[in-house]
Structure 1
Amino acid sequence: MKFHIKVNSVKTIEEIENYWSNEDYIKLLELFNFPDANTIKPENLREMLFMAITDFEPNEAAATILTYKLSESLNEGQIAQISHDMLIDKVCEEYPDIGLHCDLFSVNQLLYKAYNGTFLNCKATLVNCEIEKPDDFKGEITKEIVLKSFNRGLSDSNIIKRLFEEKMTTETRFEQAEDILWKLNDEGNNTFSFITSEYWLNKDEIIGSEFDGESLLAETEA
């Protein structure tokens, strides 16, 4: 099934807009022993959190934020290990469970900005594109469809193409697409935006600005 792709823009970003809410900032301030966090003006919450964070050792702060965000997915030992590894490695690119990469990226970048570079600076890629559906397609555009359709517009050096060649080019189900693309937004009028790690896709690897992408999909299970 062919989907016509037109790439409108590709940007490198250092944080996911609106990933952290004001409620998150307040709860984190409380965890970092900041008094009366709920009385702080919303526009000042982030800066106050940065101040509170830097009263702690970097690995201690990392463990606190990781526990807040990922305690349901990681145990204490894993959190302790990651909180140290984040100081020397891009854990949000290297952690074996790619389903955690998006959260690990946002935790890392919060710490990177708070400590002004003590943590490594990780980046993501934001793509805005138009996807024209074939006339006989009645379903929704999914992350799997987007990735498979982009195959023809990516350089051969791209790691998604190299690691998942069969899943990108055949009817084999591409379950990992759900974790590789962190966000997929339908903006209306056949326009979509998606965010993924720069590890998976950097802006220089999109070599086609307009192309016909082929997305071979598995038969729907009964």
Structure 2
Amino acid sequence: MKYAIKIHKISTVDDLDNAWNLEDYKELLERFELPNVESTDLKEVRELLFMAISDKEPSEAARIVLDYKLSDKMNEHQIDSVSYEMLIDKISEEYPRIELHKTLFIINQLLYKAFNGKFPNAKATIIDFEITPKMNADKDINKEIVLKCFAQNLDSHNVIKRLFHKQLDAEEAFDEANNIIWFLNKIHDKFQLITSDYFMSREEFLNDEFDAKISVFEEE
């Protein structure tokens, strides 16, 4: 299958819009022992939460937020371990379970801002683009198609090309694509994807416009 891709904009950010809502902040305030906050102003409640978070030791604060977001995915020992590792490493890039990277990024950046930089500063990449199927290419654009196309426009040092070459070449199923790309949204006739800067950074892109020919894994 062949596709034509045109990149309109690549942005590097350290936060994701709407990653946390008012209910999240108020639940966390309860857990950080500041209950019954009346305000409905998101910015004001966020500032109160930051103050409550910064009153704790960093690893303890990390443990509380991790428990809130990931207690259904991690056991107590794992949460305790990650709460310490987060202070040293970009755990949202290095944790072996890729399906947790997005949530770990969201948690990391909340803590990074609350503690004014005591946690490592992770980044995300946002790409606005058009993708046009050619000839008999599948018109139902999904994360695997997009990721395989974009990989052909990344330099040879890119981590996706190094770690997932068999999946990119359709020698194996590429289930990881659904977790490498955090969001894929269609906006009118254009698309926007969000992923970790670890997987795709702005500096790794070779061209703004390119054609990509890809294959899809087929089980025997």
TM class, shorter-chain normalised?
Answer: over 0.9
Are residues 1:39 and 2:55 paired?
no
CA change 1:138–1:197 in 2 (3 A) is: closer
- The alpha-carbon deviation at position 220 of structure 1 amounts to 8.6
- The alpha-carbon deviation at position 215 of structure 1 amounts to 2.3
Q: Which residue of 2 aligns with 1:212?
A: 211
Point out the more displaced range, 32-41 or 139-148.
32-41
Instruction: Tell whether the 8 Å contact from 1:171 to 1:216 is kept in structure 2 after alignment.
Output: no
Q: Which residue of 2 aligns with 1:91?
A: 91
> Equivalent residue of 1:111, what SS?
helix
Instruction: Report the Cα distance in structure 2 between the residues aligned to 1:159 and 1:110, rounded to whole angstroms.
Output: 26
- The alpha-carbon deviation at position 210 of structure 1 amounts to 0.5
- The alpha-carbon deviation at position 166 of structure 1 amounts to 2.0
Instruction: Report the Cα distance in structure 2 between the residues aligned to 1:62 and 1:180, rounded to whole angstroms.
Output: 23
State the one-letter code of the partner of 1:30. Answer: E
Instruction: Report the Cα distance in structure 2 between the residues aligned to 1:200 and 1:27, rounded to whole angstroms.
Output: 32
* Aligned-residue identity in percent: 46
Instruction: Report the Cα distance in structure 2 between the residues aligned to 1:5 and 1:51, rounded to whole angstroms.
Output: 45
> Equivalent residue of 2:191, what SS?
strand
Instruction: Tell whether the 8 Å contact from 2:92 to 2:100 is kept in structure 1 after alignment.
Output: yes
- The alpha-carbon deviation at position 192 of structure 1 amounts to 0.8
- The alpha-carbon deviation at position 53 of structure 1 amounts to 0.7
Q: Which residue of 2 aligns with 1:165?
A: 165
Instruction: Tell whether the 8 Å contact from 1:112 to 1:120 is kept in structure 2 after alignment.
Output: yes
Instruction: Report the Cα distance in structure 2 between the residues aligned to 1:38 and 1:185, rounded to whole angstroms.
Output: 34
Q: Which residue of 1 aligns with 2:150?
A: 150
Are residues 1:77 and 2:77 paired?
yes
Instruction: Tell whether the 8 Å contact from 1:26 to 1:38 is kept in structure 2 after alignment.
Output: no
State the one-letter code of the partner of 1:216. Answer: S
Instruction: Report the Cα distance in structure 2 between the residues aligned to 1:218 and 1:168, rounded to whole angstroms.
Output: 9
- The alpha-carbon deviation at position 134 of structure 1 amounts to 2.7
Instruction: Tell whether the 8 Å contact from 2:50 to 2:114 is kept in structure 1 after alignment.
Output: yes
Q: Which runs of 5+ in 1 are unaligned?
A: none
Query: Once superposed, what is the RMSD of the aligned Cα atoms?
Result: 1.6
Instruction: Tell whether the 8 Å contact from 1:169 to 1:216 is kept in structure 2 after alignment.
Output: yes
Q: Which residue of 2 aligns with 1:127?
A: 127
Instruction: Report the Cα distance in structure 1 between the residues aligned to 2:33 and 2:132, rounded to whole angstroms.
Output: 51
State the one-letter code of the partner of 1:103. Answer: T
1:9-53 per-residue CA deviation (whole Å, 9 max, x = no partner) reads 111110111111111111111111113224353331111110111
1:155-190 per-residue CA deviation (whole Å, 9 max, x = no partner) reads 11111011111211336321111111111111121x
- The alpha-carbon deviation at position 137 of structure 1 amounts to 4.2
Output the TM-score relative to the length of structure 2: 0.94
Point out the more displaced range, 210-219 or 174-183.
210-219
